[in-house]
Structures are given as structure tokens and as C-alpha cells.
Chain A
Amino acid sequence: MLKLNKRDTLLFVIVTAMVLLAPFLLNPFPQGSSMAQMFNAGYPDLMQRFVIFGILVIGFNILFGLTGYLSFGHAAFLGIGSYAAVWMFKLLSMNIIPALILSMIIAGIFSLAIGYVSLRRSGIYFSILTLAFAQMSYNLAYSVLGNPSSSYNLTNGETGLQLALDDPRILDGAAAANGALPVTKLFGLAMRDSYNLNVGGWLFTFNVGYYVAGILMLISFYVSIRIFRSPFGMMLRAVKSNQQRMNYTGLNTKPYTLAAFVISGMYAGLAGGLLSSMDPLAGAERMHWTASGEIVIMAILGGVGTLIGPIVGAGFNEYFKNILSKINDGVLHQWLSFLPDGLENFIVGILHYFVGKGWHLTLGLLFMLVIIFLPGGLVEGGQRLAKMFKSKKTDDESDSNNTPAE
């Protein structure tokens, strides 16, 4: 099917099913229960983030996973895509199609230029070059290019670029008549419209924006599988394993790596455009080096160079970020209220440092654990588990795989 081999087809079908059924899968707890309060993730904003960051990391994986070039400035393309999309909403139309197209084109142009320069170096020198370009973009977007009183206010600085009632919107300017800002839409479908389904105590939300982004993620995923399996993908892998040998054979690898860089930049641009389509505000923080670092973290968490890894990593990171930062002491007390008071206070006192304002600490620790014990990311963890179950009866030695390598 779809010119994929059997395993890839299976993978693609599973991912498709997960995307389509996410509103069910992500709301396992009945509405109103205290577990739902915290752990349910089936609300539009977070579901959208899952798939949008999925696209971003899938794109990053095409570059890093295949060629081994570690870009530490990938967030710049996300930011550039976001700004391009918001400008499209401001100037042309609230329809997301032109916005997405423009954000991919602009991100593509930027990645072509930055990639052309940065790919002249490899290893850490490449990483620092991309980092430097991204930090320059961030600093300029935050200040010089974002001063509302100057004539070149491209980014609106700290506040972020947002829609205004008096934007021209050449194609559908009349929509702003009632004093409310127009909403982003795909022809007639507004991105924020949702359909709610109540079943028993459960509430499932089907959000238009989520499904638009989800379908785009599936397309991106499909394209990425095809790239991984194509001769082009093989060439990129060859670059990763030994670029020098490739060069000795008389082959110029630069066009291949540059193509991978631009494709991956356009993925980031698409993700940025989608972020703006779901919520039309583009902030400069999206381009900060820590945001780039987060992309790398997501890719590694999931498993670099694997097909499904980026999606797993993005989902894992976004989920814990959103959930952990919202847990406060009151919630902890509520959960642990079945314990004796002294013990309850003691445990809350400890957990206090790991949730709410301490969510960075928890994520940092989790991330370290994954790198130390699962160099192949969560995907490797899953494979080890699967292997363990399969071979348990016949071969006990596979257990040793689960202990740290050193």
C-alpha cells in the first residue's frame, strides 16, 4: 500500500489510527474525576501541540537522524514560519492555506541561505554556526525588528506579532466588522471549532484544528518514510557513516546534505505556520536557543534516526511539560489524602520540588535518565521491552540488555 513495505505500512496505519483516535486515547479518565483534572490530555490546545511538534521533530530527524548534522538553531525556522503565517493572516486572508504555503517558502529560503553557509563546516563547528544564526534571528526579532514605533516592525518584539482589527486582509477584510477579531479557518471550517461527544462520564473533543494539523502530520510522516527508504535517504546515511569516503569516491555530498537541511527547515516552517494557524500569535521566544535545544531533546528522547521516534519524543515532552507545570501542592494533597496526615505532608513536601515550579527539574532528570540508560531513546526502550517479552522463556540473557551499558 502507498508504495511502502509491509513493516512501514503497519507503522503508518498504527500512527494514523493513533492520530485519528487521539481524542479517545488521550482522555482515559472520566470528566470531573481528580485524575482527569491532571492527566487527561485530550483538549484541543495540547492535542494540536502533539502533532505540530511531531511535524517539527520529524523534519529535524531527517537532518539529524539521517545525516548526523546536529543543528542547534532549528527553532529559528519555526519562528520564521510563525511570523510568515501571521503576516499572511494580517495582509491577505484568514484562510490557513496561503499562510502555510508562505511559511514553508520563507522557511525554505532562510534554510537554504543558512544551510548553504553552515554546511561548509561539520561537527561542532556546524552546530555553532546554526546556533549563531538562530541567536541572531532571535535577538533581532526581540528588539530591533520589533519596535512598534519604528518603520520596520516585523515582529512586534516581546509581545509577539498578533492580529489587529485594522489589518488590511485584502481577501476577506470585511470579516472584522463586528468588533471581534476574525478566526483562522480552512475555507469554511474555523480552526477552533470543536465537536463534543459525551459518553457516560467521558467527554471527547474533536477539534477542527487538531485534525487539520493531524492530517498534515500524517502527510509529513509519510513523506519522511519515503525519504528514509529512498536512494536519497541512503545517500544521507552514507554521509553520516563516513563523509570523507564519500568525497573520495568523487561524489559531492553537499547538494544532498543541503537538500536535507532545506527539507527539514521547511518542515519546521510548516510547524511554525501551523502553530500560528491554531493561535495567531508569533513570539520571538520560539527562536531562542533553548527552544532549539528542546527540539534536540525531543528527537533524542524519542529515538534519533527512527521513524516513529520523533513523534514519541515530541508527545512525551509536550505532555509532561503541560501536565507537570500545572500540578500544585493543593492537587498533591488531594491525591494523597488517603494517606495518614504526617506521611501525606512528608510526601507532598518532597514532591513539591518536582512539580509546579519544579517541572524543569523533573524533565531534566528524565532526560538524563533516557540518555544514560537508553541511548536509542524511548523507541529503544520499547524495543527492549518487546524483546524481553518475546524471548523471556527461551533466553534470559536478554535481560542484561536492560541494565546500563557501563
Chain B
Amino acid sequence: MSTSNLTRRGLIKNSAIAGAGFAAPTIFTASSAAAYTNEPTGGSVTLGFNVPQSGPYADEGADELRAYELAVEHLNGGGDGGMMNTFSSKELTGNGILGKKVEFVTGDTQTKSDAARASAKSMIEKDGAVMITGGSSSGVAIAVQGLCQEAGVIFMAGLTHSNDTTGKDKKANGFRHFFNGYMSAAALAPVLQNLYGSDRNAYHLTADYTWGWTQEESIAAATEAMGWNTVNKVRTPLASTDFSSYIAPVLNSGADVLVLNHYGGNMVNSLTNAVQFGLRDKIVNGKQFEIVVPLYSRLMAKGAGANVKGIHGSTNWHWSLQDEGSKAFVKSFGTKYGFPPSQAAHTVYCQTMLYADAAQRAGTFNPCGIVEALEGYEFDGLGNGKTLYRADDHQCFKDVLVVRGKENPTSEFDLLEVVEVTPTSQVIYEADHPMFAGGALGSCNPGA
């Protein structure tokens, strides 16, 4: 009974039906029968939700976890069905996936590549998860994606915005629904041009790590293409909590736009500091000084409070959208938890649904079957309009929202307003675009 690598759980996983607190009925098939890693053979299938539960992104992780629980409830036929009813594919019927009840295990990524991989490994090796999903940063997404490729399970990325996730670090077993730095830039640039004109001098403050660099590269390229001049690109240490010494010289540099390529706590602090310095009240080169935050999230807007008012950025999804899918999702999430979902919650809910639907259509949980079912798949009704999962890089292409911090919020959740919905055609790029070049998708790995 010798098996190589990570398949040990699949064959006896059948016994792990919820609440069976007793020893397993011993159904021993030869282990070679497992066609792929963690093949579910019983009445249930296990998904691994790997989200930050400690560290600075813990609240975002908590929101992801809520959305996952909601998705599992809907898949198993509970609740009001949420976006399952508006999803263009009608394969899912509330009967689990392929007739198997959906169960899940959770883990803590701590927003560290190491810890995230350890947590994902334990889900694969110990709990028999066939799919890993979640996360709130690109470093973690890329690290876990690599692990899933080697282990032979599917990775459905959570919130990851770096170009690299589906660029130079793309993997056949990994899929991303979230948008990326390039798409943010492509969506933002025309709006910024309309608002602030094409004769501007931009000053970049960039968090000194992978995501920051790709974001800065994308925004600088897009704004330079419409005539803006980039005055300076300054890297700030990730551990910075006070950005005053980086912000103080901005006004002196002749710049009239400040681009903050920061995320999470970094962004909250840098934006707060910039507003403190009164940058937005200044007139430079005869123009009103402006601040741009390319990637927005509601949690960040909440942390920065009144400082976000009037500041533009982009986001993957927002709960105020009025299409049927978004409305259904906000209703079912809001009814269950009492507040509207964040974009992180939305993207992981979609990812879970897309995975379930792909398994249903493929008729198997085999990663290669899933990959085939998702590649080039077009769908609608999940809140972002018509969407394509491109086969070349496993990136979703959909409309991107340009948002602005609301001047007069009516509630504590009503912090952003959608300025423009940039259509897919404006944000799509060739799969071999230089910003995404360098890696290879490889071939799907079913493990075993």
C-alpha cells in the first residue's frame, strides 16, 4: 500500500461526515484507485478556506470567512441561494457539489507566505481538502498557488491584486477572479484624465514589496501614456507606520498629484498623513493638488475615516451595484450578518461558486477536469457583468469600478460611491503583455 506524495486522505475521507464522532467504517480500497489528490469518495467534499485570521488583515479575512460560510450554505441548499439564482450557469441545484455535501476547514495565513503554506499543507495532508482558497495579499496568494500546483489541488485565489499572480507566477492549478494592478491603472487613467486633465505631475509613494512595485509600474505606465509626467517614485518600508517624512517633501517637488501605492494599514496611515499635511487644500502649478489611491477597499476606507472623501481609486466590486447578482448577494449576506459585504467577501464567494459550478460541469473534482471546465469559461450574473476566465493565464476579465470616497455618507458602510464602470474591453490586455511576461502556466497537476 505504498502511495507517493500527498494522497493519503482521499480514500478514507468518506467517513468524515459531520458529526459522525465515531471510528470510521473501514472501507479500504487499494490506494492506487485514487485518481487525484484527495479524491472524495464518501458523501462529502472538503474545501479549505485559508484566510488571514491574525495580523493586520484579520478583519478582511473575517469577512472572507463569512462569505465562504454563506457560499457553503447556499451550495448545500440552505439560505436563499444568493447568487446561485442569478448565476448564468444553472448546474448548481443546492444539492452540494456533484451530490456531495460541502464541508470546509479553516486556517490562518497570518499574511505570511510561510504560515499560509503550512496552513494549506495541513488542509491538504490532514483534512483532505480538494481545493484551497482565500488570502488577502499577493505574496501569500503566489506562495500558496505554487504549493497547490505541486500538491495537485486547485487554488482559487482570494484578494490578490499583483500582476504577478496571473503574470510571471501563474500556475495551471491556480485561478484568480479578482482584478489586478494593470486593470486598475487602465480603468483609472481615463477617469483621472477627465477629472484632472492631461498635464499633471505625479509623485508616487510605493510600499516596498512585490505588489507595490507592480502597482506602481502599471499606474505610472498608464498615466504617462495619457501625458502625465512622473516626478518621482519613492519606496516606503512596509513596516512604516508614520509616513510624514515621505509626504513632507511632496509639495516641494513640483508634483500636483500624489499616488499612494499602498494597501491596508499602510494606505490608511499614508492617506491620513497626507490629508493631515493639508495637501488637498493646496494649489500647485495653478492646479488643485489631488491624491489618488489606486486600490480601494471598504475596510481601508473605514480605517481612514473622513480622509477618503473625494479621493479616487478602483475596486473589484461594490455593494451599491444594482445588477441582479449584486443585489441578491448583498441581500443574502446583509440578512445573515447585518451589514453589506466587502469586495473581498464578494470575490471569494464568486470563486467558491465558480469552483463548484466547474466541478459540476466537469463531473469530477479532478483538478484537470476543473481546469478544463474553467478555462475560457464565460459567465454572467455574479455581480461584475459578463466575465471571461481566460485560458491563457487563468485571469478573470470583467468590468472594473472606479470609485470615489463619498462626501456625505449616509451610514457607516456607505463610504464609497461608484464613479464609473469601466468596461472589460478597456482593461483587457494581451496574455503576453510585458508586465505579465516571464512565467509559464505549465500543465494541470492532479497529484497522485
Residues of chain A at the chain B interface (Cβ within 8 Å)? 30-35, 37, 40, 43-46, 49, 139, 142-144, 146-149, 157-160, 162, 164-165, 179-181, 183, 190, 192-198, 200-201, 203, 205, 279, 281, 283, 285-286, 322, 325-326, 328, 330, 334, 337, 356-357, 359-360
Contacts and interface: CB of A to CB of B under 8 A. Distances in A.
B421 interface: no
Contact of B113 (A37, A192, A285, A360): A285
A200 B342 CA distance: 47
Contact of A281 (B3, B18, B61, B117): B117
A31 B104 CA distance: 17
Contacts of A139: 237, 239
Contacts of A157: 139, 209-210
Interface stretch (B122-130, B314-322, B350-358): B122-130
A146 to B, nearest CB: 8
A162 B168 CA distance: 12
A204 to B, nearest CB: 10
A181 B20 CA distance: 39
18 contacts: A32-B14, A32-B16, A34-B19, A43-B8, A45-B125, A46-B122, A49-B118, A139-B237, A143-B209, A160-B113, A195-B3, A198-B1, A200-B23, A283-B113, A325-B107, A326-B105, A330-B104, A337-B19
Nearest to A337: B19
Given A149-B213, A198-B1, A285-B115, 19 more contacts: A30-B23, A31-B24, A32-B14, A40-B126, A44-B125, A45-B121, A142-B208, A146-B209, A148-B164, A148-B168, A158-B210, A159-B169, A180-B443, A190-B4, A194-B6, A198-B28, A283-B139, A326-B105, A326-B107
B147 interface: yes
Complex A-B, nearest 5 residue pairs according to Cβ-Cβ distance, in ascending order: A32-B15, A32-B24, A357-B53, A158-B139, A143-B208
Nearest to B121: A45
B122 A142 contact: no
A190 to B, nearest CB: 7
B408 interface: no
A196 B61 CA distance: 34
Nearest to A27: B126
B108 A148 contact: no
Interface residues of B, number: 71
Contacts of B237: 139, 143
Interface string B5-18: 11010001111101
Interface in B137-151: 137-139, 142-143, 146-147, 149-150
B443 A179 contact: yes
A194 B106 contact: no
A45 B210 contact: no
A194 B21 contact: no
Given A201-B26, A326-B107, A334-B19, A196 B3 contact: yes
Contact of A359 (B54, B139, B143, B443): B54
Interface in B40-64: 53-54, 58, 61-62
A212 to B, nearest CB: 15
A115 B150 CA distance: 38
B143 A281 contact: yes
Contacts of B126: 40, 43, 45-46
A32 B127 contact: no
A33 B8 contact: no
A281 to B, nearest CB: 6
Contact of A203 (B8, B20, B239): B8
B129 to A, nearest CB: 11
A37 B127 contact: yes
A283 B23 contact: no
Contact of A33 (B13, B21, B118): B21
A196 B211 contact: no
A196 B31 contact: yes
Contacts of A164: 439
B146 A281 contact: yes
Contacts of A283: 112-114, 139, 143
B238 interface: yes
B105 to A, nearest CB: 6
B442 interface: yes
A143 B139 CA distance: 13
Given A37-B16, A160-B113, A281-B117, A359 B108 contact: yes
A283 B113 CA distance: 6
Given A34-B20, A194-B5, A143 B117 contact: no
Contacts of B107: 325-326
Interface in B423-448: 439-440, 442-443, 445
A271 to B, nearest CB: 13
Given A45-B121, A193-B4, A143 B12 contact: no
A356 B113 contact: no
Interface string B211-227: 10100000000000000
Nearest to B14: A32
Nearest to A161: B113
Given A30-B23, A279-B117, A322-B122, A160 B108 contact: no
Interface in B231-287: 235, 237-239
B391 to A, nearest CB: 16
B396 to A, nearest CB: 21
Contact of A32 (B12, B53, B115, B210): B12
B211 A158 contact: yes
A195 B2 contact: yes
A30 B24 CA distance: 7
Contact of B143 (A35, A160, A286): A160
A33 B22 contact: yes
Nearest to B49: A328
B182 to A, nearest CB: 15
A273 B178 CA distance: 35
Contacts of B297: none
B71 to A, nearest CB: 14
A30 to B, nearest CB: 4
Contacts of A356: 53, 106, 108
B437 to A, nearest CB: 12
A357 B108 contact: yes
Contacts of A143: 208-209, 235, 237-238
B119 interface: yes
A198 B137 CA distance: 39
Nearest to B42: A32
